[in-house]
Amino acid sequence: MRGPLAAVNWYGEALLSDTKSSLSDQQKKYLNVIYHSNQRMIHLVNALLNVSRIELGTFMVTPEPTNIIEVAKTVVEGLQPKIKDKKIYFTTNFGKIPIIEADPKLTWTILGTLLENAVKYTPADGEVYFEISTKKLGDSLGGKKIKQDSVVFIFKDTGCGIPRLQQNRIFTKFFRADNAIKTDPDGNGLGLYVVKTLLDNLGGEVWFDSAENKGTTFYLTLPLAGMPKKEGTKRLT
């Protein structure tokens, strides 16, 4: 399925970037709709592939010495156009984090999902805060005790929040809160499920505090001792 979608994507990009195109404005508008709809389909197919590989246990974890701050910075950089477009007041607080054994791709996927959600569900002129630090066994974070020495991440936004009666389902596959569907009808309900399932396999944790119409704070931990290596046949997309 990814082959045909990739072809549509490539030709769509070529036509949209052709400054000498003879297409009318109306045709360009239709082409733009086709291109972005195809992008959403590619995203969905990749998400479903990731879910399949996680549930079948075929995904691999390949830890290597990783600068967590640099991974986080690439995630932030990729979201800058959306942050600027919505005029979000975006702040970071990155502590001094030692190099740890981690899979950079999986780390990027986890951080990217949570940070993209924070930006997506925060309205124009809202606020998003992203913090990275370390905590020791027994320290407190977000109302919980840390179970091991960890790199900890905080993602705080002033977005739509999660309705109280739906919070216990937020990490369920395909589930989306009612207000999230209204804010972003094109979501697939797989992102947080993938994050939670990955962290269960990597020795980390994720939880949150949220109030509807006020915002959400997600807390995430990764072990300072590093991610466990896992043999597999597939990498996540």
Give the residue from 156, 152, 142, 54 showing the smallest Cα distance to 106.
54
Dihedral of the alpha carbons of 49, 54, 56, 59, in degrees to the nearest 10: 90
Label each residue of 131-163 as H, E or C: EEEEECCCCEECCEECCCCEEEEEEEECCCCCC
CATH superfamily of the domain spanning 64-223: Histidine kinase-like ATPase, C-terminal domain (3.30.565.10)
pLDDT of residue 103: 95
pLDDT, tens digit (0-9, with 9 covering 90-100), for 154-183: 999 999 999 999 999 999 999 999 999 999
- Whose CA is closest to 61, among 29, 106, 93? 106
Domain ranges of the chain: 2-56, 64-223
For residue 40, CA distances in Å to 17, 47, 92, 165 come to 19, 11, 29, 29
> What average pLDDT does the chain have?
89
Rounded-to-10 torsion of CA 123, 126, 127, 128: 10
108-139: per-residue pLDDT in tens? Answer: 999 999 999 999 999 999 999 999 999 999 99
154 with 114: CB under 8 angstroms?
Answer: no
